[in-house]
Amino acid sequence: MGSCTAYQLAKRGKKVLLLEQFELGHSKGSSHGASRIIRYAHTDPIYLPLAKAAYEEWDELARLSGDKLYHVCGLLWLSNPEATAVRAKVLHDYGVPHSVLTGTEVGKKFPHLRFDDSWHALYDPQAGYSHADRCVKAAQSQTLAFGGTIHDNEPVIHINPGPDHVDVLTAKTRYTAKKLIVTAGAWIPRLLTDLSVKLQPELIGLTFWKVKSNPQRFLPANNSPTLILTDKCDDFYVIPEVDYIGAIKCGVHFGIPINPNNKETTEVPQWVEDISADILKEHMPDIDSVEPMKKVRCLYTMTEDQNYVLDKHPIHRNIIIGGGFSGSGFKFGAIVGKILTKLALDEPTGFDLSPFSVTRKIEKVPSANARL
Ligand SMILES: Cc1cc2nc3c(=O)[nH]c(=O)nc-3n(C[C@H](O)[C@H](O)[C@H](O)COP(=O)(O)OP(=O)(O)OC[C@H]3O[C@@H](n4cnc5c(N)ncnc54)[C@H](O)[C@@H]3O)c2cc1C
């Protein structure tokens, strides 16, 4: 989010410095790796205008950088018939092309998938996956191309807000800025300790599983779709063969609370592998579900309602916050950067940001799948 924001600011001709605590391209946060699902389909309609704008912004960044940043191969969101109908209505009301399939129809269209008719699927044909590493790199290279500055291996130690400027103390020096945009992911609560919306870092386990038969069915080039399974099982998602040749990527959409500095040394719970194996065994017989080919750690930063924080600091209005992306924010990176830029420049964003307020009251914690 920081790289996308720096890019958007630099493109506007603003003097911008992007500070990163680790080396660029590191894998200690939330945005590394080859793939993230990108989609229109959402349960909550507040995300539809953001999705539309995000596609446009990624296209613009791809044009400027000359790199392909996402691939369209569709998304099947498998759930119960009632929840599928609700999600289909959200797309219908926003005029987004989609279709609804029964479990049997899913198997006819995508023979590598086995679902009975107690499952329905929402098909979002414009969905697919973004090339995550390439997106971050493109934003960083365009930041530099538009005259911005990037300092990596320079952690921010302390933020000292004032009425007309913000002092930022790093491990190397002190900077003074008119505005500060904080997009520190799982580390935000360490930099801004007084936020009322709780930002909880979670350790997430990803697993990669070998395709043992019918490999052509798992190729995005053959429109093998990305998958989300919710409501009838633990929240789960699949990206077809993208990250590693001959393997698919699986994720369980919840983790365990963690100190982000301990990510590399904390064990991922065994249930991540067990949930994945059980789902693959039941629904994807072409996958070798005995044990994963590879396991990877990642970080989520969860809010209690799984909506993000895109807002000015409640007291220090020259500090802008972009965080709490709750395991689903990558796809919006390019538009989040633009929104945070507009907040910093005191311009209207064109979006209703009230669901993303840093002072919102979260009365009822919805079930984990409500916001995916
Ligand atoms: C396993 C997994 C799968 C996901 N799948 C999807 C998906 O399919 N689709 C989707 O849209 N989203 C997905 N997400 C969510 C998405 O990747 C995240 O929401 C997004 O990457 C969050 O970006 P961020 O910039 O907030 O955090 P980060 O990428 O962690 O960036 C924060 C940066 O701030 C730096 N930083 C922190 N503190 C300091 C400091 N004091 N000084 C300087 N720098 C600092 C960190 O080092 C880090 O580089 C997934 C996430 C994970 C973990």
Atom 1 in ligand 1: residue holding the nearest Cα: 298
Ligand 1 atom closest to 136 (CA): 29
Give CA–CA dist 347/349, Å, rounded: 6
Q: Is residue 202 part of a domain?
A: no
Q: Is residue 293 part of a domain?
A: no
CATH assignment of the domain containing 332: 3.50.50.60
Q: Which two tokens stand for residue 135?
A: 């997106």
Domain of 322, in residue numbers = 1-72+128-196+304-372
- The predicted-structure confidence for 245-275, as pLDDT tens digits, reads as follows 999 999 999 999 999 999 999 999 999 999 9
Q: Which two tokens stand for residue 261?
A: 């500095």
- The predicted-structure confidence for 170-180, as pLDDT tens digits, reads as follows 999 999 999 99
Ligand 1 atom closest to 299 (CA): 53
- The predicted-structure confidence for 48-90, as pLDDT tens digits, reads as follows 999 999 999 999 999 999 999 999 999 999 999 999 999 999 9
Angle among Cα 34, 36, 38 to the nearest 5 degrees reads 135
Give CA–CA dist 255/236, Å, rounded: 12
Q: Is residue 222 part of a domain?
A: no
Ligand 1 site: residues with CB under 6 angstroms?
Answer: 1-2, 19-22, 29-31, 36-37, 155-156, 183-187, 191, 204, 206, 251, 298-300, 323, 325, 327-331
Is 82 exposed, middle or buried (CB count within 10 Å of its CB: 0-12, 13-18, 19+)?
A: exposed
Q: Is residue 96 part of a domain?
A: no
Q: Is residue 5 part of a domain?
A: yes
Do the bridges between strand 75-79 and strand 226-229 make them parallel or antiparallel, or are there none, so unpaired?
A: parallel
Number of folded domains that form the chain: 1
Is 119 exposed, middle or buried (CB count within 10 Å of its CB: 0-12, 13-18, 19+)?
A: buried
Q: Is residue 277 part of a domain?
A: no
Q: What's the pTM value of the predicted model, to 2 decimals?
A: 0.97
Q: Is residue 40 part of a domain?
A: yes
Q: Is residue 339 part of a domain?
A: yes
The stretch 190-204 carries a mean pLDDT of 96
Atom 47 in ligand 1: residue holding the nearest Cα: 21
363 pLDDT band (50/70/90 cuts)?
Answer: confident
**CA 301 to centroid of ligand 1, rounded, Å:** 8
What torsion do the CA atoms of 233, 235, 238, 239 make, to the nearest 10 degrees?
Answer: 160
**CA 240 to centroid of ligand 1, rounded, Å:** 21
Atom 5 in ligand 1: residue holding the nearest Cα: 36
Q: Which residue has the tokens 């907040």?
A: 343
Ligand 1 atom closest to 129 (CA): 8
Ligand 1 atom closest to 331 (CA): 11
Q: Which residue has the tokens 């990527």?
A: 249
